[in-house]
Amino acid sequence: MKKSLFGIILFSLISLACAHAETILLHTGARVKGTIVFQNEEVVIVRDESGARFQYLRSDIDRILSDEEVVTTQLEQKEPTDVLEITTAKKASILLELSCAPSFMIPFSPFGNAGIDLLAGTHHIKDRHVFIGAGVGYHGYFQDGYSYNFLPIEAKLSVPFMEAKHAPIFGIALGYGVALSKDYIGGIYTGIDFGYRYQINPKSALAVMAFASFQQARLNTTVTIEGNTYTRKAGRNFVSPGIKFALFF
């Protein structure tokens, strides 16, 4: 009798020492946390923290996880809130820019300026959302019924300062503005911008930026010499500081 009692006590102590909390995942998606007190090929009996016991069929159970496995699974599933995953981002991308600005002709003369640019390139370089591409646009300069219109053929580089959903961004463009009239001649076009970018998803982003652009041109001018009026083309450059909105997609 003493040996039987001793055996029961010893078995109970070994069971308590080996018992530990586990999480049972059911096929329904439910989770049951407790200590397994008995299991065989058909059933698993679990005791929860209150001491209540529950029995589950093996056929209803998906997985049984220890505490360490539950913690590991939760860490693997947790996603950073402001870190971007760009390995799945498409490499081909389109950049659409809309701009408006006051403009100044040098020698000084105030104009209004509006522009649109459409560029194709890549938005994924060395695991960063760096855009590099080329395309065309339309830039118009307006003043009291006069208008000068150019078609800039340009290359563009746009670089975020960090890989996050919210980030400052810097860009630079260089190209040639083709004149859309025979009355004047185009020339070198360049622009620089700096602003804020919001990454919507790995493939798309919005940005608002302050920018400054320079468009070289030669316009018809008239001069009067000894009572005679002459028309010639003289260098006139447009400088435009303003606001630009951009969409990467």
- If we measure between CA atoms, which residue out of 127, 150, 134 comes closest to residue 94? 134
pLDDT at 138 over 90: yes
Range(s) of the chain covered by CATH 2.30.30.100: 2-77
What's the pTM?
A: 0.60
The predicted-structure confidence for 72-122, as pLDDT tens digits, reads as follows: 554 455 444 454 444 444 578 899 999 998 888 887 788 999 999 999 998
CATH 1.10.287 assigned to 92-248:
no
Q: Which of 97, 98, 96, 113 is nearest to 239 (CA)?
A: 113
The topology (CATH level 3) of 2-77 is: SH3 type barrels. (2.30.30)
Q: Of the ranges 16-30, 45-59, 200-214, which one carries the lowest mean pLDDT score?
A: 16-30
pLDDT at 58: 85
Q: Which residues lie closer than 8 Å to 162 by C-beta, 6 or more apart?
A: 168
Whether residue 191 has pLDDT greater than 90: yes
Segments of the chain assigned to CATH 2.40.160: 92-248
C-alpha distances (whole Å) from 133 to each of 130, 148, 221 are 10, 26, 36
Per DSSP bridges, beta strands 166-179 and 43-47 are: unpaired
The reply to whether omega before 241 is within 30° of 0 (cis) is no
Contact indicator for 107, 236 with CB cutoff of 8 Å? yes
